[in-house]
Amino acid sequence: MRSPAFLAAYPFFVVLALSCTSEDEDASGGAGGAAGSTTMSSTGGAAPLPGPISGTVSRYDYKFDGDLKTSESKLTIDVAAPGGDCVELESVPMPSGAVAWNDSEALTATVEKGVYKVCGAPVAPGPLTVTTPSVFAQKTLYGLDVGFSKKKNMAGGDFTYMVSWVGGCDLFGPCDNDPGTLAEMHFDIAHPAGTTVLCPGVRTEGATSTRCDITGTLAPTYSAVGWASDTMWTRTPFLTANGVDWVFYEVPGGNLAKSLDPVAMKDFFGWMVGLFGPFPYGNELRIAGGPTAWLGFEHPANIVLLEDLDLAATDYADAVSHVTMHEITHQWAGNRTTLASTGLRLEGGDERVPALRLRGRAPPARHRRCEPRVLGRHLDPVPALPSPDRRADAARLDVLRRRVRPGADDALRAARAAHRSAGDPRRPAGVLRGARHPLGRGPPRRARVSVG
């Protein structure tokens, strides 16, 4: 449902969660499938009245086709009393076909300045499903991976990536982009034979379609509405820790898995489980390499790292280990607990040690070498801009774009290529990655935690 404008940028070098406190309300489950239109009120027997609907999106059922750039989003909305006949969500694209309101066609469906308004027959409190076909754009925002992109991987194959980030799920169709909400999610992604698709949650692979499901422990749209695919990934089992299988997906020439110490990673993962509980999203953690703008980005049960992170010049003694551990932490702090929590602590400013160490809960000694030498370099606080229409807010875009040094990616990529061709295993000297990841601040919100 639409909420007051919340401008934030999902921080890259963010966070260890200090607390995962659940709200008093129950956030543990999603509604089931489509429900028929309700014609009688549960309280007085009177027919439901027209009016704006208040409620919560508890479930998303998505169908995506990356080649056609089409989506079908079926949203299950838990309608609160007294019911109504119109709902407002967020969407950038207009509907590309008929919109379904429960089992009937919606009466109206419009998009104006990012607000998606759908009206149908009045419904009483209970489940309402709204199904919308859309066509989304192949473009990215802010010089980052936000949006939908197709690139060549370092071996020459085709890499495809969809990233929502905070407030971005509406780039691909209707959604509630409030970063403080959690929902059940299901994905069906069509793809050519021979292409590997990684999507959030429990994954079921088919020849030309891959399905992923997030149930039980729920997830926020800013990380869960996203997936990646590649025509050249090779699947390589890495380790099993605390009942979770780690699997790498890399193209020929990728050295991410080879750069990690399995014993150290297993030790770190066990420490995280001991602090925050079982891994939230199934029994498989997938880590893939791609030609990304970020050093890493996490989705529930998926992590996408820069494919040649092992060659990147960073402020880290061991960049691959640090970024991998950072993104694993987000499986709990950022997914299971949303970034809307006031209990999250951000690395940056004058801090010189990770947040958990400030609480006297230091990580195993072998991992301290992975801490950033200068944490503050990676966070540039960006003031929250009040405009509800982020696409029309040039000031916000200018602020974010200034965080990216023009040409840095090209220079770094050329330096990496030169060192690779010369057989020099050292990091390219004097070339720093240009993206300095922005952090927006919105109004404080309580954490919402889903316990599976």
Strand pairing report for 380-382 and 438-440: parallel
Domain for residue 4, yes or no?
Answer: no
Domain for residue 5, yes or no?
Answer: no
Segment 343-366 mean pLDDT = 38
Higher pLDDT, 107 or 379: 107
Domain for residue 248, yes or no?
Answer: yes
pLDDT at 364: 53
Q: What is the pLDDT of residues 11-68, one digit of tens each?
A: 333 333 322 323 333 333 333 333 333 333 334 457 888 999 999 999 999 999 999 9
Cβ–Cβ < 8 Å for 208, 194: no
Domain for residue 58, yes or no?
Answer: no
Which tokens go with 387?
């405009």
pLDDT at 211: 98
Residue partners of 421: CB distance under 8 A and separation at least 6: none
Instruction: Please check the confidence at residue 395 and state whether its pLDDT lies above 90.
Output: no
Domain for residue 448, yes or no?
Answer: no
pLDDT at 341: 57
Q: In three state form, how does the secondary structure of the chain look? A: CCCCCCCCCCCCCCCEECCCCCCCCCCCCCCCCCCCCCCCCCCCCCCCCCCECCEEEEEEEEEEECCCCEEEEEEEEEECCCCEEEEEEECCCCECCCCEECCEECCEEEEECCEEEEEEEEECCEEEEEEEEEECCCCEECCCCEEEEEEECCCCCEEEEEECCCCCHHHHCCECCCCCCCEEEEEEEECCCCCEEECCCEEEECCCEEEEEEEEEEECHHHHCCEEEECCCEEEEEEEECCEEEEEEECCCCCCHHHCCHHHHHHHHHHHHHHHCCCCCCCEEEEEEECCCCCEEEECCEEEEECCHHHCCCCECCHHHHHHHHHHHHCCECCCECCCECCEECCCCCCCCCHHHHCCCCCCHHHHHHCECCHHHHCEEECCCCCCCHHHCHHHHHHHHCCECCCHHHHHHHHHHHHHHCCCCCCCCCCCCCECCEEECCCCECCCECCC
Residue 127 bridge partners (DSSP): 78
| Parent domain of 414 | 16-22+137-440
Which tokens go with 341?
């929590």
Which tokens go with 74?
């079926």
pLDDT band at 216 (very low <50, low <70, confident <90, very high): very high
Segment 335-350 mean pLDDT = 54
Q: What is the pLDDT of residues 243-281, one digit of tens each?
A: 999 999 999 999 999 999 999 999 999 999 999 999 999
CA proximity to 200, closest of 182, 217, 187: 187
Domain for residue 378, yes or no?
Answer: yes
pLDDT at 256: 98
Average pLDDT, the chain: 75
pLDDT at 272: 94
CA separation for the pair 232, 235 (Å, rounded): 10
pLDDT band at 1 (very low <50, low <70, confident <90, very high): low
- Count how many domains the chain has: 1
Higher pLDDT, 368 or 252: 252
Report the share of the chain in percent with pLDDT over 70. 65
Higher pLDDT, 316 or 300: 300
- pTM over the 0.85 mark: no
Domain for residue 37, yes or no?
Answer: no
Domain for residue 45, yes or no?
Answer: no
Residue partners of 206: CB distance under 8 A and separation at least 6: none
Q: Radius of gyration over alpha carbons of the chain, in Å?
A: 22
Segment 174-193 mean pLDDT = 95
